[in-house]
Each structure stands twice: as C-alpha cells, then as structure tokens.
C-alpha cells in the first residue's frame, strides 16, 4: 500500500466517523508506514486492532513493536492454533510455539490481557481440518487454564473461527477429495439467526490498492463490493471496458450503508453452527 492510499484511509476515517481500523496482512507491522498510520488513527480516537502473528516481535528491527502497540493502546488479535507445542509447530513450523509463547509473555508484561489494564489481547483458533470449530467458550476455558498454568500467560478472549473453503485450504480440500463434503457440512449447519450478526454487515475490507470488498474472503476471491450509490456506474461499459471497482475515495462522497452484500457458497462458513466472524463465534 502506498503513502497516498494510507493517507486516504485517514481521510475516510475522519470524514465517515468510522470507529474501528482493523489492520491485517501478512504481517502489517512490517509495512514502513504502519506506525504512522496507527498514530494518525489513534489521534482521531479510532480504535485500532492489529492482527499479529506473535513471532513478528522477534524479527530484526521490531524489538520496540510491543511497547509501541502498548503505548498507543492498540488491541491485539493473535493467532495461536493450539496450546500444544507439537500441534503448533507441526502446523506453523519448528520453533513457532516457543516464539509465540515468548511474545505473549512479553505482551503480558506490558499489561496486555491483564484485568483492568485496558490493553486487549485476544487469541484466534482455527480447526485443523474440514470440521466446524468446537464451542468457543469451552475451548477458551481450556486455553486459559493451560496457558496460565504452564506459562503464566493471560489473555482476554479466544476467537474460534471456521475454515473457509477458499485459497490454500480450499485447494487442499480439492486435492483430498473433501471439498464438496466440507461445503455440504457448512450448508447443513447453516443457521438463519447468524445472518443478523455476520461481519460483512458492519465491515468494509480494503485491499492494498484501496479497492473495497464486503469482507476479506471476498477480497481473496476478487469479488468487489457494490455500493448502491454507485450502482448506475458499475454496469459493464461498452466495448468491453473493465468494470468500475469501488474505491476508498468513493467513501468520501457515498455512504456505504444499505448497499447490497455480495454472497457466494463460501459465505456458509460464516453462518454455519455458532457462526464465525473476525470477532469469533456469533453466538455466545
């Protein structure tokens, strides 16, 4: 993302009165403009969330990252697929578990996850395989018990997210002949009551070029958002000219509320079982 697009983010936050900026990657902290963007958003009173892979704090040049996040009261959402070293290292690579535990201890020492500190530390769990995530509350209790007993680690909330049948996971399902059965599992467990709380109703996903999507999964599938106020401009023009894509700059003049949301089969991943969103299960 270039400087102009990052400046536009701040302009949109201010103009639209947007309350939350949720930064993800890859590793968003490695972007040279990450810290400036965080500071500018926080100066507007915007809640900032950093989706952090934990091991980033051990990378060269990132030694002051944890303190920076704490000083700016950035909420951290960190992926930790299990509280077992064997499971984590098998899934993420040798040594990832130990680095993740060290990072969590460092964040705890700065007040993250500590009662009354206001410094929020949430963890993320994804199932290993073509199954629905277990009960979030029960799994959170297990995480808290084991991490505190074995490593002295505390955190606020565990988010249990369903695996989406797209990208690498979708390709793996296809290669193993399990894609159709997993999609059917999601469809069979669809619950209408989850529709009122799915994340695409209150979130806009922005790619590195400033283009808009209804969620990160639609971004990965290149399904751009449709702003109702731009609908007349989004018809395919004559002579095969490309479809106009909604962009951050459009939000300076057009209110996105009430616009239609693009859906496809992968959306069952958010509505199945207890539901799934960037904030964990929809039903608690």
Give the pLDDT score at 62.
Answer: 93
Task: Mark the ranges of the chain whose per-residue pLDDT is less than 50.
Answer: 234-241
Give the pLDDT score at 238.
Answer: 45
3-state secondary structure of 212: strand
Give the pLDDT score at 91.
Answer: 74
Please say whether the beta carbons of 231 and 268 come within 8 A: no
Rounded CA separation 247/225 (Å): 9
**Which pLDDT tens digit goes with each residue over 109-127?**
999 999 999 999 999 998 8
The domain ranges of the chain are 1-160, 164-284
Give the pLDDT score at 232.
Answer: 53
Rounded CA separation 284/280 (Å): 9
**Which pLDDT tens digit goes with each residue over 189-222?**
999 999 999 999 999 999 999 999 999 999 999 9
């Amino acid at each position: 993302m270039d400087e102009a697009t990052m400046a536009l983010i701040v302009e949109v936050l201010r103009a639209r009165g947007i309350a939350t900026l949720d930064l993800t990657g890859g590793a968003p902290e490695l972007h040279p403009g990450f810290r400036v963007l965080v500071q500018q958003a926080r100066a507007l009173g915007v809640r900032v969330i950093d989706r952090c892979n934990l091991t980033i704090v051990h990378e060269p040049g990132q030694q002051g990252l944890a303190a920076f996040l704490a000083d700016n009261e950035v909420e951290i959402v960190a992926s930790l697929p299990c509280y077992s070293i064997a499971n984590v290292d098998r899934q993420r690579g040798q040594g990832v578990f130990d680095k993740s535990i060290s990072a969590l201890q460092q964040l705890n020492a700065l007040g993250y996850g500590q009662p009354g500190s206001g410094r929020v530390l949430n963890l993320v769990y994804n199932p290993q395989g073509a199954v629905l995530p277990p009960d979030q509350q029960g799994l959170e209790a297990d995480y808290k018990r084991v991490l505190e007993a074995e490593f002295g680690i505390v955190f606020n909330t565990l988010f249990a997210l369903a695996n989406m049948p797209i990208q690498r996971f979708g390709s793996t399902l296809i290669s193993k002949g399990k894609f159709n059965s997993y999609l059917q599992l999601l469809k069979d467990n669809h619950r209408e009551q989850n529709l009122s709380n799915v994340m695409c109703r209150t979130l806009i996903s922005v790619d590195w070029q400033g283009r808009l999507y209804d969620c990160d999964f639609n971004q990965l599938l290149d399904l751009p958002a449709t702003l109702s106020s731009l609908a007349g401009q989004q018809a395919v023009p004559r002579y095969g000219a490309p479809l106009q894509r909604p962009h951050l700059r459009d939000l300076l003049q057009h209110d996105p509320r009430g616009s239609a949301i693009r859906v496809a089969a992968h959306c069952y991943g958010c509505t199945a079982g207890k539901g799934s969103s960037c904030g964990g299960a929809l039903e608690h």
